[in-house]
Amino acid sequence: MLAGANSSRNDVMVFANARAVRDKLLLGFFMLVLPAAAPPLSRGDEGMYLFNELPTELLKQRYDFEIDQAWADHLRLSSVRFNSGGSGSFISSDGLVLTNHHVAADTLHKLSTPERDLIRDGYLAKTPEDEIRAPDLELNQLVSIEDVTDRVNAAVTAGADAETALKQRRAVMSTIEQESTEQTGLRSDVIALFGGARYHLYRYRKYTDVRLVWAPETAAAFFGGDADNFEYPRYNLDATIMRVYEDGKPAKLEHFLAWSDEPLQENDLVFVSGNPGRTQRIFTTDALVYLRDVRLPYLLDFLRRKEVLLQQYSLGGDEERRRGRDELFGIQNSRKAYSGMLEGLQDPRTMAEKRGREDRLLAALEQNEELKSAQAAWKEVAQIQTEKAALLRQTASLRSDLFDLAQRIVLLTEEDLKPNDQRLREYTDSGRESLLQSLLSEAPIYRDLDQMKLADELGRFAELRGGDDPLVAELLVGKGPRQRAAELIAGTKIDDVAFRKSLIEGGRTVTLASDDSLIALARLLEPEYRRLRELSEQLDERERQAYAKITAATTAIEGTGGYPDATFTLRLAFGTVKGYEEDGKRIEPTTVIAGAYEHAQQHAGQEDFDLPASWMENKDKVDLQAQLNFVCTADIIGGNSGSPVVNRKGELVGLIFDGNTQSLTSDYLYTDEQARAVSVAATGIKEALRSIYGATELADQLGR
């Protein structure tokens, strides 16, 4: 099951927010904030293309398909990005939005109570009044793209060192975003592309009144559980429908996707419009070795630790199981995905292919006097990996929901004292509305769960830095992690929204004077947090500059593949509905609803293969031959979860929800020999709504 996207700023702070682990993986917030660089020449259906630079000639040549600008604009404006991670699409004129159940799971978790477990039991709003508002969800619709490369580059002094260049680049990007937001009222983000060779300004319309309309039970949405995760064939209804509102009424939309009722056939051409989180296809061999030997094992150790912690918490009872389920699911999913990615990097053939291409490229550079000096960039990247490894185990943050809120408030009140163009990126004026929505969310935080997580984090902090570290001593004040965590949670009011608001409005003076235990803790860690962040961002800047040189040299020798690495911004991918061979067996590209019932019978007695009562009670009403899932060769990665899949006419035919096991190396290597994107079929969603969930009126609205 693919993830959503929450990004950390660097390797040191890869776990800035434990709740973000729920976003289930492949990009998660573990991604590096490096500019996207040009990957090698594309193969097969490889490519995550910019909407302002679509592969028109390639599609015409390969599939006899001509992209009409109106077709592309309509698809772009019908697509949305979830701030919680993931993608979605508008599917009706009155604001309906389709995404995955696992993308919506964070919202379902926040809306659940001991008496109303929406993740387990699902939900259907029978009237508009029954649609439940999400506490802090934001959807982004990409309105326009503007090239601002010249302005960004002009602001950076030629030959500037990494520290100076970072400050100059950050300042001009913040200024551009602020000016755009003030002029248009739209969310404005400057995105680095092609190794920092180009910068685009993305403007988004924001929808912050988002309400739940329908969600199936987890037993249907994640049918097969961990055993079937990243496998195929699949029989999942990983879908959820929400609705965006404006001024308290369902939004009236000009752009939304028509719904196709036609079953897909093998070799049908399809398109995916979504927000892939990050790829690393430009990475040098040394960078991949760092991932293989240092960073991914570190992440997996963290995930295994947190998995055991949450499993122990969930043994406390039904309510504890409900409270911890969403985060546990995300951690387990992430652990399995990262294990697959590491396995791919540990396959000698992967490194051999990367090293062989790199050796050929470096040999070509050696023969070219004008490009020969670019070889130094590869050495610079290698040195940076060594420095990143040294920083990785240092930390100045704790993965606890309550501490995360305290730390962000402390940082915000300090950043507010600075000119906008000198602030940390996430605290600039252009993103303030979104930041405040997150900080002032009414979503529940469970003190018992957070205390358990904080105790584990304090213990881990001491393990990483050493028990005699002065900061560890200040943090624990002579107490054990569990005792200290209990004391800290007992002494905080951060879970009170009104208290958080008073701190934000009071500014730095109030936060400095506050005796709240977690605010005091955040103040204690703030200097070290800023020190490590500055070091990490300087490494990022050096790496940015090195990859810009590598990109230029690679393009000069090989040409360009036509798309930059992923940046959690809207991209278009394409491919065909296509089966594959696995272990000598033919895997057909589509499954039907009947297969879910057969699969459940084959695995009788295994809880993860128990279909919900709604499916069993309505079996006689269902068209068992309706397509349920399918695979295609489109190039996707984490963040594409919830992406619409459309046909040549631009009609919705499916909903991306996963990749198979063979696709887990797509971060750094694309292949369509066996790797496949997995989708819920549009026909299966509509059939389930009508015949299983009795949601005929909702089904009638789809695509209208």
pLDDT of residue 14: 32
Tokens 């040098």 correspond to 284
The token pair at 533 is 């962040």
For residues 463 and 481, the answer to whether their CB atoms sit within 8 Å is no
Average pLDDT over residues 150-155: 96
Written as one letter, the residue type at 459 is G
The pair phi, psi for residue 625, each rounded to 5°, is: -95, 5
Q: Indicate if the alpha-carbon torsion angle 189, 192, 197, 200 is positive or negative.
A: negative
- Which pLDDT tens digit goes with each residue over 604-616? 999 999 999 999 9
For residues 283 and 669, the answer to whether their CB atoms sit within 8 Å is no
Lowest model confidence (mean pLDDT) among 321-335, 482-496, 587-601, 643-657: 321-335
Q: What is the DSSP letter of 459?
A: H
pLDDT of residue 12: 30
Query: Distance (Å, rounded) from C-alpha 11 to C-alpha 15?
Result: 9
Say if residue 273's pLDDT is above 50. Answer: yes
Say if residue 32's pLDDT is above 80. Answer: no
Average pLDDT over residues 489-494: 98
What share of the chain in percent tops pLDDT 90?
A: 80
Q: 48: which residues sit within 8 A by CB, 6+ positions away?
A: 276, 279, 563, 566, 571, 572, 573, 635, 636, 637
Query: Distance (Å, rounded) from C-alpha 647 to C-alpha 627?
Result: 16
pLDDT of residue 55: 94
- What's the Cα-to-Cα distance from 409 to each of 138, 405, 451, rounded to whole Å? 20, 6, 19
Query: Distance (Å, rounded) from C-alpha 219 to C-alpha 2?
Result: 18
pLDDT of residue 21: 35
209 confidence band (pLDDT: 50, 70, 90): very high
The token pair at 12 is 């040191």
Average pLDDT over residues 393-417: 95
Average pLDDT over residues 298-318: 96
pLDDT of residue 518: 98
Q: Which class for 584: exposed (0-12), middle (13-18), buried (19 or more C-beta within 10 A)?
A: exposed
Query: Distance (Å, rounded) from C-alpha 323 to C-alpha 117?
Result: 10
Say if residue 5's pLDDT is above 70. Answer: no
264 confidence band (pLDDT: 50, 70, 90): very high
Lowest model confidence (mean pLDDT) among 9-18, 77-86, 511-520: 9-18
Query: Distance (Å, rounded) from C-alpha 383 to C-alpha 284?
Result: 12
pLDDT of residue 10: 33
Secondary structure of 167-211 in HEC code, one letter for each residue:
HHHHHHHHHHHHHHHHHHCCEEEEEEEHHHCEEEEEEEEEECEEE
Query: Distance (Å, rounded) from C-alpha 425 to C-alpha 438?
Result: 16
Average pLDDT, the chain: 91
Q: Which class for 501: exposed (0-12), middle (13-18), buried (19 or more C-beta within 10 A)?
A: middle
Q: 150: which residues sit within 8 A by CB, 6+ positions away?
A: none
For the chain, percent helix, then strand, then coil, each to nearest 5?
A: 50, 15, 35
pLDDT of residue 561: 59
Say if residue 36's pLDDT is above 70. Answer: no
Average pLDDT over residues 665-689: 93
- Which pLDDT tens digit goes with each residue over 42-75? 467 999 999 999 999 999 999 999 999 999 999 9
- Which pLDDT tens digit goes with each residue over 339-383? 988 988 998 988 998 899 899 999 999 999 888 889 999 999 999
For residues 402 and 518, the answer to whether their CB atoms sit within 8 Å is yes
Q: Indicate if the alpha-carbon torsion angle 442, 446, 447, 449 is positive or negative.
A: negative
For residues 575 and 632, the answer to whether their CB atoms sit within 8 Å is yes
User: Based on C-alpha coordinates, what's the Rg of the chain?
Assistant: 25
Query: Distance (Å, rounded) from C-alpha 155 to C-alpha 143?
Result: 26
- Which pLDDT tens digit goes with each residue over 72-99? 999 999 999 999 899 999 999 999 999 9
Query: Distance (Å, rounded) from C-alpha 674 to C-alpha 660?
Result: 9
Average pLDDT over residues 33-45: 52
Say if residue 622's pLDDT is above 80. Answer: yes
pLDDT of residue 570: 98
**HSE-CB of 523 using CA atoms within 13 angstroms:** 14
Q: What is the DSSP letter of 442?
A: -
pLDDT of residue 689: 98
Q: Which position has the higher pLDDT, 571 or 3?
A: 571
Query: Distance (Å, rounded) from C-alpha 322 to C-alpha 309?
Result: 15
What share of the chain in percent tops pLDDT 70?
A: 94
Q: Is 278 helix (H, G, I), strand (E, B) or coil?
A: coil
∠ CA 594-598-604 to the nearest 5 degrees? 145
pLDDT of residue 3: 58
pLDDT of residue 17: 36
pLDDT of residue 43: 60
- Which pLDDT tens digit goes with each residue over 434-470? 999 999 999 999 999 999 999 999 999 999 999 999 9
| pTM score of the predicted model | 0.90
Say if residue 282's pLDDT is above 90. Answer: no
Say if residue 318's pLDDT is above 70. Answer: yes
Among candidates 655, 650, 642, which has minimal Cα distance to 683? 655
Say if residue 527's pLDDT is above 80. Answer: yes
pLDDT of residue 155: 96
- Which pLDDT tens digit goes with each residue over 99-149? 999 999 999 999 999 999 999 999 999 999 999 999 999 999 999 999 999
Among candidates 231, 148, 121, which has minimal Cα distance to 613? 121
Written as one letter, the residue type at 366 is E
Query: Distance (Å, rounded) from C-alpha 195 to C-alpha 193?
Result: 6
Say if residue 494's pLDDT is above 50. Answer: yes
What is the CB neighbour count within 10 angstroms for residue 402?
Answer: 24
pLDDT of residue 6: 35
